[in-house]
Amino acid sequence: MSTAQRPILFVSLPESGLLNPMLVLARELAQRGTADLWFATDEPRRTDVQRLAGRTPVEFASLGEVFSELSAVSWDDRVYREVTQPSRFKAHRAVIRQSYRPDLQAEKYRRLESAVEKIGPALMVIESMSSFAVDLALTKNIPFVLSVPFLPSNVLTSHNPFGTSYTPKSFPVPHSGLPFPMNFRQRLGNHLFKLRTLALFLNPSMGKVLSEDARIRKELGLPAPSPMTRIDRAEMILCNSVPELDYPFEVPEKMKLVGAVMPPLPEGPAGAADGGLGTWLDARSSVVYMGFGTITRLTRHQVGALVEVARRLDGTHDILWKLPEEQQHLLPARESLPGNLRIESWVPSQLDVLAHPAVKVFFTHGGGNGFHEGVYFGKPLVVRPLWVDCFDQAVRGQDFGISLTLDRPQTIDPDDVVDKLTRVLGDPSFRRRAEKLGELQRAAGGRAAAADLILDLPALR
């Protein structure tokens, strides 16, 4: 049995793509009997944390209610349109403007500070987007591990053309969706992306936010912000990827690439308890699984286009579509839906679906978790990039021969979708490459390797 001398405190924002790998890792430690485990996140995730109990419990530390301004799931339609617009830089800029809220970050900092004073952690495991938690760990001199559910270059590449970066200067900047190596025009676009990001923070309206941030930091006694401080000061960086899924560069020693962090499978119920989904999959030979994450909001036109895609594939492939209940009113009349289409508002486990041998391709938005999960199970992808990092995963998947990307992801042209799905389904090289990368992910060790690395840190000896 592994025991820590003092508590381990996990900290994450509540979004599923950020939180889920952290929950898996905390549960792994609980199953091993690691003592004094705590998990701090927003109040609506209390039940998810309480379910983690294994040989030892995982205690919940509430960071209060979700701030809608910081949660992409609750952004209004105007903001959603801005952060998912076709221009990659403008979408990147919109995300920064929406989420850079020093006042709200400070509130989460104060709530976490209260929890830390009570818990006295020996180590914090911090999801990489939880900047307030990094600030607290630095201020209180608490050793911390950074958890990264993205490609390794996502956190190692500077957006500032003059800033420190762990990747080469010619490396594609995160959220640009650019390949590597690049032609002259792409290199120019990459440099301009960095310059425009720098200019964004020189804008007078952003200057007011920066002044507010400086005032709050002085009040709380926080260090000046620096993009690479979280990397430089971390005891270790756990990245849920493998080198072969990113463009080549020298990864720092402190970054440990453990592949996708998966729970034991099957994860969901079987038989009648899963609504008959497992039986339905067992009876099919070729299924396209469509799942676009928790943030995607489809329009009536886009929903209709995807129904048309299913209709055109009827007779050759079946379609399983995870479509949230609140978007199902956009569907045409049920009696007009093609017979090969099964729509679920919720599936007991997306991982169980992707693991099923009948699923031949994953039609996804290309987020960090979905991208790595699909490849983990050896499934080739068709990607409809939604925003920011989705474009980065999409271009790598296409360059590595495991996926194709829609030409017009905003409109969803049925001709385009059917073409991409047919090509991926018909060319066995996509599956072979995906299966090879899946083998590399599984060999990296996932949750078991991540847990071993954490328990071996000096802070817990």
Residue 4 has pLDDT above 70, yes or no: no
Residue 219, number of CB atoms within 10 A of its CB: 9
> pLDDT tens digits for 146-189?
999 999 999 999 999 998 999 999 999 999 999 999 999 999 99
Confidence of residue 227 (pLDDT cuts 50, 70, 90): confident
What pLDDT is attached to residue 69? 86
Higher-pLDDT residue of 224 and 381 is 381
Task: Give 173's DSSP letter.
Answer: P
What pLDDT is attached to residue 289? 98
> pLDDT tens digits for 119-144?
999 999 999 999 999 999 999 999 99
Angle, alpha carbons 278-280-283 (nearest 5°): 110
Instruction: Average the pLDDT over 376-382 and give the result.
Output: 98
Higher-pLDDT residue of 305 and 271 is 305
What pLDDT is attached to residue 271? 63
Q: Which two tokens stand for residue 316?
A: 């050759």
> pLDDT tens digits for 22-45?
999 999 999 999 999 999 999 999
The residue type found at 118 is: K
d(CA 401, CA 429): 8
What pLDDT is attached to residue 176? 97
- Contact, 314 vs 338, CB < 8 A? yes
Confidence of residue 375 (pLDDT cuts 50, 70, 90): very high
> pLDDT tens digits for 315-344?
999 999 999 999 999 999 988 999 999 999
Confidence of residue 3 (pLDDT cuts 50, 70, 90): very low
Residue 452 has pLDDT above 90, yes or no: yes
What pLDDT is attached to residue 272? 56
Mean pLDDT of the chain: 95
Q: Smallest Cα–Cα separation from 385: which of 178, 243, 129? A: 178
Residues 6+ apart with CB under 8 A from 445: 258, 259, 452
Confidence of residue 1 (pLDDT cuts 50, 70, 90): very low
Confidence of residue 205 (pLDDT cuts 50, 70, 90): confident
- Contact, 404 vs 436, CB < 8 A? no
Length of the chain: 461
Instruction: Set out the domains of the chain in order of their start, with CATH numbers.
Output: 8-259+445-460 (3.40.50.2000), 271-443 (3.40.50.2000)
Instruction: Average the pLDDT over 218-226 and give the result.
Output: 89
Please report the DSSP string for 93-131 in residue order: HHHHHHH--HHHHHHHHHHHHHHHHHH--SEEEEETT-H
235 SS3 class: coil
> pLDDT tens digits for 359-370?
999 999 999 999
> pLDDT tens digits for 257-302?
999 999 999 988 776 567 899 999 999 999 999 999 989 999 999 9
pTM over 0.75: yes
